[in-house]
Amino acid sequence: MSKDYDFDLFVIGAGSGGVRAARMAAAKGVRVAVAEDRYMGGTCVNVGCVPKKLYVYAAHYAEMFEEARGFGWDSEQVPFQWQRLRDNKSAEISRLNGIYQRLLDNSGAQVINGRGKLVDAHTVEVNGSRYRAERILIATGGWPTVPEFPGSELAVTSNEIFDLDEFPRRVLIVGGGYIAVEFAGIFAGLGARTTQLYRGDLFLRGFDQEVREFVAAEMRKKGVDLRFNLNVESLEKTATGSLLAALTDGSTLEVDAVLYATGRAPNVVGLGLESAGVEQAQGGAIKVDDNFQTSAPSVYAIGDVINRVQLTPVALAEGMQLVAHLYDENAKPVDYELIPTAVFCQPNIGTVGLSEEQALTRYPNLDVYRSEFRALKHTLSGSDERTLMKLLVDADSERVVGVHMVGADAGEIMQGIAVALRAGATKAVFDTTIGIHPTAAEEFVTMREPSHCYRDGQRQP
């Protein structure tokens, strides 16, 4: 570690991946600096996973109050206070910001408030001051994007939606990814008249086709107005302060807020990548190798800014792998196979491994086990919500290659299933595992007969 540098490792961005890498490196005696210009914890803590999950919890309560009647609890209609939810959320985020700050301080890393900019491959400038570093790590994450169209400045993104001054009674959500789907469930659950538009045939592209169709049906049951093959042509503010959306089918829609959740781009504006010779892919993502090294040998990048898998736990894994690679021996590359994922729509999606469509491209002999049912809770609640579970099995090896669930607590359940798949579990392992009764999760170990199968890639009758 040369004395010619102010720091051994200079991290730009104090999100999940950057903080993890900084703390681990500092614990090894590495001289670390972290520059952050916005908020500690990055997207996940401030405008992503954490506030979103809190709002998902909030959105369930109206439904739960109604369902409680079937269990003997009578209650009057309870008013919802948006400002209280918003302010309580903000207080919790402030608490978490402080925790991240203390974690870095206690690790010995130096925190520098401001936007880091590369001057060259070993120099970072923050607020006019320059720092020399042996290595630089870029962990600036992603940023929501809104396409340009007439009135596009009237739309909000996931960065602003949590902190609206007033609760929007009518909401238009544009997009077909997990963020759009989750917010549609949130606002519908909180009592807003919610419309979701997506320009394609069906949202959640890349997920299992049956899961996508099942979720769409369940969301419609819960009052979300889903409109596919449709987009916004323009937005304008009316005399009353509402927004009028002109749609591509010639119709209009008057709402109180428009949320655009149509994608996120790598947060690279103003980073000075060209000054250090750091190459980027189309769309701005920073190009890296298996050890997260860029085209500039002293510069590394992890997390959403490299646009591999945009998930907080993946950024954490990348940060840990990078530190192990730089300061330990025998570090193994991050394995991007079998990453479990949850979508906190209503009901939740939990998935790990391949979709049915993906599995067929790898395993021409495929057995599909499927179960759909009404959860025990809803036999009394009165809800017509249904649960879907799928197991995909390579018929030649009997190995389970994909598991999917739509239903309550799907994300919680899928975490344990992911461990089994990482261990190479076969269908026989599932079959010989004793279930926990009565739970929805036990269905995964009691499915005995395939619902359908494929042989040589052809579906069998």
Phi, psi for 7 (deg, rounded to 5): -140, 155
Question: If you search the block for the tokens 């590495």, which residue do you land on?
Answer: 30
Q: What one-letter code names the amino acid at 175?
A: G
Q: What one-letter code names the amino acid at 334?
A: V
User: Which sign, positive or negative, has the C-alpha torsion 125, 127, 130, 135?
Assistant: negative
Distance CA(382)–CA(234), nearest Å, equals: 41
Can 378 be counted among the known catalytic residues? no
Burial 332-354 (b: 16+ CB within 10 A, else e): eebeeebbbbbbbbbbbbbbbbb
Angle between helices 49-67 and 82-107 (to 10 degrees): 140
Q: Residue 331 gets which letter from DSSP?
A: P
Q: What Rg do the C-alpha atoms of the chain give, in angstroms?
A: 24
Q: H or E stretch including 133?
A: strand 129-138
Q: What one-letter code names the amino acid at 130?
A: R
Q: Return the number of other C-beta atoms located less than 10 Å from residue 144's C-beta.
A: 22
Phi, psi for 326 (deg, rounded to 5): -80, -35
Q: H or E stretch including 358?
A: helix 356-362
Distance CA(191)–CA(67), nearest Å, equals: 16
Angle between helices 16-27 and 82-107 (to 10 degrees): 20
Beta bridge pairs of residue 244: 236, 254
User: Which sign, positive or negative, has the C-alpha torsion 344, 347, 352, 354?
Assistant: negative
Q: Residue 41 gets which letter from DSSP?
A: B
Angle between helices 49-67 and 178-190 (to 10 degrees): 40
Please give the positions annotated as active site: 437
